[in-house]
Structure 1
Amino acid sequence: MVAELISVGTEILLGNITNTNARYLAEECAALGLSCYTQVTVGDNPGRLEEAVATALSRSDVVILTGGLGPTEDDLTKETVAKVLGLPLVEDPHSRQRIEDYFKKGIHRPPTDNNWKQAMIIEGCQVVDNHNGTAPGLIVTTAGEKQVILLPGPPGELYPMFEEAIRPFLEKLTSQIIYSRTVKIGGMGESYVADQIQDLLENQTNPTIAPYAKIGEVHLRVTARAATKKEAKKLIRPVIRELKKRFGKSIYTTRNEVTLEDKFISLLEKYGLTVTTAESCSGGLLSGRLINVAGASDVINRCFVTYANEAKQDLLGVKNSTLRKYGAVSPQTAREMAKGAARAAKSQVALSVTGIAGPGGGTSEKPVGLVYIGCYVKGHTEVIECHFSGNRQKVREGTVARAIDFGRRCVMKYGK
């Protein structure tokens, strides 16, 4: 079964936003066993969108459109798809009531006239409720038994809607069961991971392994096709065992929904430990990512952003002599930051980060991207040296991911 993705929005064409929706949907289609040969991005132009939809329907079994479901005049995805299919738009009382309730409970003002545009649906379609916004999703089955799926553009609305309703719908269209598990590996690059499993990639048939590079980690999605879910799980099991044998403790989970920070926080909870952070170049990004985890307040009581040397001394007790002799970006400073943070917060675990995020400030001895990460766990302190590439944001994000994975490894080593 062939799927095609159409992303709608002039802002995507102009590069004003990154099209993360297409990447997400492409991965999901691959996991469902759908062949995705074409992706199209179209601006807010009804003529060009009409042509894109008609072309997609001529060559694909499933067409997924994202964006253009808003209340403004340039949001024309529904209208254009309805025109291509020769179907009218009708008001859906259920969607109208949901829009009214959304404004009453969340925004505390009446909807404007243009908001009712979002209650208009393509006649005969299946309406998918939006629990995070006002634009419902639509599923239209054409006379030729093809599926046209319309989804809202904001990722915070699209992702939950796909997971709750669209994925189960698409699963029912395939003749076989498609089952996937994701092996998540921290602290390793994509090229290294791919090299370690090259033999598996070259000889794979069913199940298949698909590597996905993430910031600071690599995901291996193992997917099997079978007549039943039980048979698919049986096919996947030996592959997971082999990957665990090759990557060991670098694998932090095989559950799709678990993130690196989820795993780190759960380890702290398991061992009854609290954690603090002491950040320089990451500037609070590390603590912010940890606090994204529900229940993080059980293991985090305070964190430190010590960008200036004075802050490192005043809040963490880093020695002036250490800073003068080795500099703020040094393994010695990272070590003292971790110890000092643990002491100041009365925590059993502390992560420290100090480095040069760029674009300026680097030297031949200490180039941009050089970062030292320290971890203190119950009297044991370790420091690692890292070198990251890319712009300032990429260096900071890479630092945070590596720090969390380093903390996870140290807690497994010393936290019991």
Structure 2
Amino acid sequence: MEQVFASIITIGDELLIGQVVDTNSAWMAQELNKAGIWLKRRVAVGDNKQEILNALDDQSRDTQIILITGGLGPTADDITKPVLCDYFGGKMVVDQNTLAHVKYLFEQVFRRPITERNLKQAEVPDVCTVLHNTRGSAPGMWFEKNGRVFVSLPGVPHEMKGLMTNEVLPRLQQHFTMPFISHRTLLTAGIGESYLADKIQTWEEKLPAHFKLAYLPNYGMVRLRITGSGPDKQQLEEALDTEFSKVKALVKEWMVVDEDLPLHVVIGNLLKQQGKTMSTAESCTGGYIAHLITSVSGSSAYYKGSIVSYANEIKEKVLNVSPETMKAGGAVSEATVKEMVLGAVAALNTDYALATSGIMGPDGGSPEKPVGMVWVAVGNRNKVVTQLFNFRFDRMRNIEMTAINALNLLRKFIAEQA
């Protein structure tokens, strides 16, 4: 059973100049991997015929699957369809099913006049298999040439995901015989990547040849991911579980969770298990922590809300931080964040709260309180713990680092109360 490799070609000048960030490739790579397909390469090209043709030739030399996104819109700069028509030696024809779908969208869903430009969305090369796009007007297209599969998809993420899920992945799994791929992931905090590598070096060196270990550091935390592949799914899963148990025992002192979950989801799960609630009192993070928590569906079961007390008067009037505390230590002080926690617990009637106050930069620092200095507090009605951080990054990175470290401090506090 041979490994199947794929390449992704993203098309569009907007990607090359950074006007649009390519999130499609990351999502597609994850889904391909789940299906047992290794992504070998990601390539971005502009809206240029020769560049697209070159990319098609280059990627088809050593990958069996070439996925293409972008350039399928109705405007003049969307040249993917005619280029693919030339590449595969076909001619443009109207696909009647797509035409009916486009008319339905404009007449019944969008309720606006349809133009000739819109109708051209139904034109496809006669050498492709048309993939129905239930979420938009541009169809997907499946081509085969010299044992390779080429699939063209819209660049709109919502539409691309629908086509990948409903059409492309099922067809690829039928077309190719692929080995199974599986992962085990854990998250650590409080230990650097190099030190972690030293701790597990002996175990890592003894990993089977068909297993790979990846270190994924981010925001002061490190994920460890073991990936295995093989022809027998049950044997693969059992072998992975054995190795995963070994590494968990080695890093248990620093392990946050033995699943591939972000920290705000881990906290949500802890709160649901305890039947408890939380709130946030944010100054320097400006609601960023609230954004992370509420990005999870169902978070209303454990998260009541936030008081973004960016101004000192809000800290005093809404969170009941005493004027004396503010006068003595200022907004960025241990005493202030302690009172912010207690104020949030009382005002929002929650079991736990966290608070942040710091100097994110690039302005506002002083010798006593430099840019990157942050006080974080977490607690409940009876106990509050604090920690001082000193970050050295730009404004957004400092905010993100504050959020992750505050959430991790809260996680540890909640776990201790169980």
Q: Do Structure 1 and Structure 2 share a fold, with TM-score over 0.5?
A: yes
TM-score, reference length from structure 2: 0.87
Aligned with residue 331 of structure 2, among 323, 328, 335:
328
Q: Does 1:383 align with 2:361?
A: no
Please report how far the alpha carbon of residue 34 of structure 1 lies from its aligned counterpart in structure 2 after TM superposition: 4.8
CA distance in 2, matches of 1:410, 1:216: 18
Query: Does residue 17 of structure 1 match 2:16?
Result: no
Deviation at 1:376, TM superposition (A): 1.4
Please report how far the alpha carbon of residue 347 of structure 1 lies from its aligned counterpart in structure 2 after TM superposition: 0.7
Is 1:50 the equivalent of 2:53? yes
Say yes or no: does 1:337 pair with 2:340. Answer: yes
The 1:374–1:116 alpha-carbon spacing in structure 2 relative to 1, beyond 3 Å, is: farther
Amino acid at match of 1:220: L
* SS in structure 2 at match of 1:59: coil
Match of 1:88 in 2: 91
Q: Is the 8 A contact 2:277 2:303 kept in 1?
A: yes
**Equivalent position amino acid for 2:87 in 1:** V
2:77 is the counterpart of 1:68: no
Distance apart, 1:106 and its partner CA: 5.4
Query: Counterpart in 2 of 1:153?
Result: 155
- Judge conservation of contact 1:377–1:411 (CA < 8 Å) in 2: no
Q: Which amino acid aligns with 1:353?
A: T
Deviation of 1:27 (Å): 5.5
Distance 1:20 1:251 in 2: 29
Work out whether 1:8 is the aligned partner of 2:11.
yes
- Give 1:301's aligned residue: 304
> For each residue in 1:269-288, what CA deviation from the matched residue of structure 2 results, as whole angstroms up to 9, or x when unmatched?
22111211101111111112
Query: Secondary structure of the equivalent of 2:384?
Result: strand
Residues 54 and 84, structure 1, Cα contact 8 Å, conserved in 2: no
**Post-superposition CA distance 1:43-63 (Å, at most 9, x none):** 111122122212222333221
* 1:8-54 CA-partner distances (Å, limit 9, x unpaired): 11112212233343444456556666555543221111122122212
Residue aligning to 1:352: 355
3-state secondary structure, aligned to 2:310: coil
Aligned CA distance change for structure 1 residues 58 and 238 (closer, same or farther; 3 Å) = same
- 1:104 and 1:93 map into 2 onto residues whose CA distance is 16
**TM-score (normalizing by structure 1):** 0.87
**Per-residue deviation, residues 131-179 of structure 1 (Å, max 9, x unmatched):** 554434333222x221112233244444565455544554552442122
Corresponding residue of 2:364? 361
Corresponding pairs, count = 413
Conserved? CA contact 2:203–2:247, under 8 Å: no
Deviation (angstroms), 1:261: 2.3
Q: 1:123 to 1:244 in 2, by over 3 A?
A: farther
CA distance in 2, matches of 1:109, 1:294: 33
Q: Is the 8 A contact 2:40 2:63 kept in 1?
A: no
Match of 2:212 in 1: 208
Structure-2 residue corresponding to 1:372: 375
1:179 to 163, 177, 182: 182
Q: Cα 1:77–1:269, aligned 2, differ >3 Å: closer, same or farther?
A: same
Contact 1:375 1:407 (C-alpha < 8 Å) held by counterparts: yes
**Which residue does 1:286 correspond to in 2?**
289
Q: Which amino acid aligns with 1:274?
A: T
Distance 1:362 1:107 in 2: 52
Select 1:241's aligned residue among 242, 245, 268. 245
- Post-superposition offset of 1:77: 1.8
What RMSD over aligned residues (CA atoms) do the two structures have, in Å? 2.9
Matches of 1:377 and 1:245 in 2, distance apart?
Answer: 31
Distance 1:268 1:183 in 2: 20
SS at match of 1:395: helix
Does the 8 A contact of 2:338 with 2:377 survive in 1?
yes
Residue matched to 1:224: 228
Aligned equivalents of 2:170, 2:388: Cα separation in 1: 45
Distance 1:285 1:83, change over 3 A: same
SS of corresponding position for 1:303: strand
Structure 1 position 141 matched with structure 2 position 180: no
Q: How far apart, in 2, do the equivalents of 1:163 and 1:182 lie?
A: 24
- TM-aligned CA deviation for residue 113 of structure 1: 3.4
Offset from partner CA, 1:75-98 (integer Å, 9 cap, x none): 122321232122334433444444
Change (3 A) 1:245 1:97: farther
Q: Distance in 2 between matches of 1:105 and 1:216?
A: 50
For structure 2, which runs of at least 5 residues remain unmatched after alignment?
none
CA deviation profile, 1:203-245 (whole Å, cap 9, x unmatched)? 4422212233344543333221122221221121022212322
- Give, in angstroms, the shift of residue 297 of structure 1: 1.8
Contact in 2 for aligned 1:374/1:382 (Cα 8 Å): yes
Change (3 A) 1:312 1:105: farther
CA distance in 2, matches of 1:69, 1:208: 37
Report the alpha carbon displacement of residue 385 of structure 1 after superposing the two structures with TM.
Answer: 2.3
Distance 2:37 2:363 in 1: 46
Gaps of 5+ in 1: none
Whichever residue aligns with residue 404 of structure 1, its letter is L
2:155 is matched by which residue type in structure 1? G
Q: Distance in 2 between matches of 1:189 and 1:154?
A: 38
Matches within 5 A, 1:109-148: 109-123=112-126, 125-130=128-133, 132-142=135-145, 144-148=146-150
